[in-house]
Amino acid sequence: MANVDELSALTAAERLADLFADTVGADVRSVILHGSLSAGDFRAGSSDIDLLIVIEGGLSDAQSTVLERLVRQADLGSAAGIDVHVVTAEIAGAPSRTPALELYIGRYDRSSTGFEVERRVAASPDLPAELSMARADGRSLRGAPPREVIAPVPPGWIVDRGRHWLMTWRSLTDDTENAAFMALTACRIWRFAVDNVHCSKAQAARWALDRDPSLTVVRQAVQQYEQDPTAIVGEQGITRLIDTVLQETAPTWRPAEPASVRHSDVDNS
């Protein structure tokens, strides 16, 4: 049963799904909730609301402006922020490595980033992972179920993009604001590469520690993420973790068979 914090964020997500559907109208194929709030690992004040909107055709400038305003003004309940991706049904139904993105809106109330908007992105290399996660663990708040509107994404594309970010973060380990995010996301990339399973930050951390208990930085990241925002996540530890995951996901990697039980059945953000 959902707790009070989950219900608060879920109510906010439902309200936004209604408003998005009203704005776009009959062209909405599906409004999909995914991430921690869908998978049962929501953390008040740390987790975001993740929404993927699949539409027929494209958005007009006026519609995009309304959606941006709705996200800016929304009461997010206990969520730390919100990520909204809008894609066409054509893109969702036939993903490529760098698919087009109709609209992205990110609001981060507890981060210096604040608010981000991208319109009509011709090539979005991070979108395939978003589509894959929504297909695997999302649930429809409005319209068709995820698997009816999102086609499978080759796991190798997701691993390759994950390695890109790991190599980028290798030179950013002194970024204290995003230290826990980098460490826990590295764990998620690692587990997906090995098991072909999308999972939450907390689940990925447990998996990584089972695989290598000496990775103290993972415990530090979990403490900062779940308990104490002031907890230190060691820079050298992040470097070691990233190097470990890069080695474990090197090009000799071969994908596992798709898991028969998803993480939401055995246990995001």
What residue type is 188 in one-letter code?
Answer: R
Residue 262's pLDDT band, with cuts at 50, 70 and 90, is: very low
Residue 252's pLDDT band, with cuts at 50, 70 and 90, is: low
> CB neighbours of 116 closer than 8 A, spacing ≥ 6?
104, 105, 106, 107, 108
CB-CB contact of 76 with 82 (8 Å): yes
Tally of CB atoms within 10 A around 59: 21
**CATH code of the region 4-149:** 3.30.300.190
Bridge-partner residues for 83, per DSSP? 50, 106
Q: What is the mean pLDDT of residues 121-143?
A: 96
Given a cut of 70, whether residue 103 has pLDDT beyond it is: yes
- The pair of structure tokens assigned to 27 is 């062209």
User: Is the model more confident about 5 or about 95?
Assistant: 95
pLDDT digit string, tens, across residues 150-203 = 999 999 999 999 999 999 999 998 888 889 999 999 999 999 999 999 998 889
Q: Taking the model in full, what pTM does it have?
A: 0.85
Instruction: State the average pLDDT for the chain.
Output: 89
Cα 234 to Cα 254: distance, rounded to the nearest angstrom: 31
Residue 121's nearest CA partner among 88, 152, 164, 150 is 88
Measured at the CA of 52, the angle between CA 157 and CA 193, to 5 degrees, comes to 25
Given a cut of 50, whether residue 261 has pLDDT beyond it is: no
| pLDDT recorded at residue 113 | 64
Given a cut of 50, whether residue 258 has pLDDT beyond it is: no
Residues of the chain with CATH 3.30.300.190: 4-149
